[in-house]
Structure 1
């Protein structure tokens, strides 16, 4: 989940190319609406710097409502508070390989839960 539409579309395309089914959300509120309709997801990528609802706030809400979903927070290196340690992280900007590695971890954790 990324507030910038072009970046979000680019990440979604990379994820699809890596073999993942992708649903995009333009905001934290939109992501929560999507999950309220269908929460059958292994993982969510949330950008920490979204307007209105920061990625960490979205992550905490998702884990509370849908504990089976693994949340990955995307943020520039060192920009997340210590309270984000409970979540998987990916430093921005990231390479496709970095994305694949963190998603593999997220999916394994989701399926093990």
Structure 2
């Protein structure tokens, strides 16, 4: 059964921290970003300087995709909704284990209930 958590995430770095700890919980499988994911780090330098592109990128961190489903590791699937600061985790682990794991990000975490 999926569980919904509120995590105080403000940027892509925060959501990456959530992804990292949940992937470790699920036996550490590495998540591959889809080829459609655009990051400032891998854009040609000429494109980084355009004002139009900077306005299109969300809060200057290169994250265009804010809501994204993650395959996770063994027995863990999760969905991060950055704008609403919510994480939905479908896992065999207990709620206490999931709260402890999400707390390792250093962000404020609260359990909202089953989804």
TM range (shorter): under 0.3
Bigger Rg over Cα: 2
Structure number having the greater helix percentage = 1
Higher relative contact order (CA 8 A, sep 6+): 2
Q: TM-score, normalised by structure 1?
A: 0.27
Q: TM-score, normalised by structure 2?
A: 0.27
Structure number having the greater strand percentage = 2
